[in-house]
Amino acid sequence: MGLQEVISQFGDQFQWQPHIENAASLGSHARFIVCGMGGSALAPWVIKHYGQKSHSLTFHRDYGLPLISDEALKESLIIISSYSGDTEEALDAMSEAVTRGLPVAAISIGGRLIELSRDRGIPYVQMPDMHLQPRMALGLSLLATARLMQDAALEDSIRSAGTSIRPGEMLKEGGRLGLLFAGKVPLIYTSSANAPIGYLWKIKFNENTKIPAFTGSLPEWCHNELTGFDVVDSTRPLSASMHALFLQDDTDHPRIQKRMQVAGDILRERGIPVEYLRLSGEGFEKVFTSAILADWTTFDLARRYGVSDMETPLIADFKRRMAT
C-alpha cells in the first residue's frame, strides 16, 4: 500500500474497536507510563497535550524504565507500546517491568511483545495489521492506549475527531507546501503546547521524504536557537538551505503569537525563508488535520526527490548492524 492510499484511508483506523486480552489482570489505575519509540511514542504525547487532564500520563523513550521512585512505578500502569512488537528499547522496558513485578500492559500488532504478553498472562491490545508504518498508525495507537487507560470518554473523543477528517481536502495545500520546501531543510516551530504537532511534521519529513528536518518550540527557542541564525558571511552557507515553518494557533498565549511574528521577521531579514501556517480545529482534530497536511506535503516532496515515501531502509540497516 502506497502513502497516497494510506492517507486517503486514514479514517478507517477509527472503525476499529480495541479488545483487551487478559483484561482480568489489568486492574484500575489513575497514573500511566507509556514506554515506546518513534511512531509508537506519539500517542501518549498527543493524549497528554490534547486529551482530558484527568489522568497522570508520562512517556518514556529509552531503555528500561523512568528513573522515578519504586512507589510511583508501582502505582502506575506501565504500557509498553511497539508497533512491530520487536522494538529493542520497548522489549527492554517490558523485561524490567516484569522482573520487578510492576503493573504492565502492551500494545502491538504482534512480534515478541505479544508473544511475551500472551505467555505470561499480561494484559495487551493487539492492533490490526493494516500494513502501515508506525508513524501512520496514530489512530490505532491512540485508541489502544485509551482502551488500556479504560477511559471511554477519551476514546470517544479520539474516534469522533478521526472520523471527521477529510484527507482529500488537504491534498492541494500539501502540493503547494511540497513545492515550497523543495531543496530546503525544514525547520518547524510551534508553541510548547503544540510541540507534538511540530514533532509530527518533523518525522514526516524525515521518514516520508528522507531528508533532515528539525523542530523547536517557543518561547524556549527564542533563548538559544534563535541566535544561531545571527549569520555573518563566514556562516551564511550553513543556513542557506533552511526554510522555517511556524505553526500558529489562535489559542496560544498572546506573547507566543507575537514571538512567532518577531522571530519570522528576524529570520527573513537574514535571508531565511519563512512560512506561516495556522492550525485549525480543536483537540485531536487539530492534531489529525495537521498530520494529514504533513503527510500530503511530504508525499509531494518524496515524488519530487524520487524516494520511497513508505519504506525506511536506513533505519532497517541500522537495526541490522545493531543486531550483529
Angle at CA of residue 55, ends 50 and 61, nearest 5°: 70
Per-residue HEC secondary structure of 61-101 comes to: CCCCCCCCCHHHHHCEEEEEECCCCCCHHHHHHHHHHHHCC
* Residue 283 cell numbers, joined: 483537540
Amino acid making up residue 64: G
Domain boundaries, the chain: 3-164, 167-305
pLDDT at 250: 97
Q: At what angle do helices 42-50 and 283-305 cross, to 10 degrees?
A: 140
Mean pLDDT by 10 residues, the chain (324 residues): 93 98 94 95 95 84 96 96 97 98 98 97 97 95 98 97 97 98 98 98 98 98 95 90 98 98 97 97 97 98 95 92 91
- Residue 218 DSSP code: E
DSSP string for residues in 158-206: HHHHHHH--GGGGHHHHHHHHHHHTTSEEEEEEEGGGHHHHHHHHHHHH
Greatest alpha-carbon pair distance for the chain in Å reads 66
Q: Which residue has the cell 511514542?
A: 41
pTM given for the model:
0.95
Q: In what order do the strands lie in the sheet with 124-126?
A: 20-21, 124-126, 104-108, 76-81, 31-35, 56-60
Backbone angles phi, psi at 17, to 5 degrees: -110, 110
Show the CA angle centred on residue 184, arms to residues 172 and 182, nearest 5°. 35
Contact between 202 and 174 under an 8 Å Cβ cutoff? The reply is no
Q: Give me the count of residues in the chain.
A: 324
- In this prediction, residue 54 carries a pLDDT of 64
User: What's the confidence (pLDDT) of residue 214?
Assistant: 98
Domain at 3-164: CATH code = 3.40.50.10490
The C-alpha atoms of residue 240 and residue 236 are separated, in whole angstroms, by: 6
Q: Is there a common fold for 3-164 and 167-305? A: yes
Report the CATH number of the 167-305 domain.
Answer: 3.40.50.10490
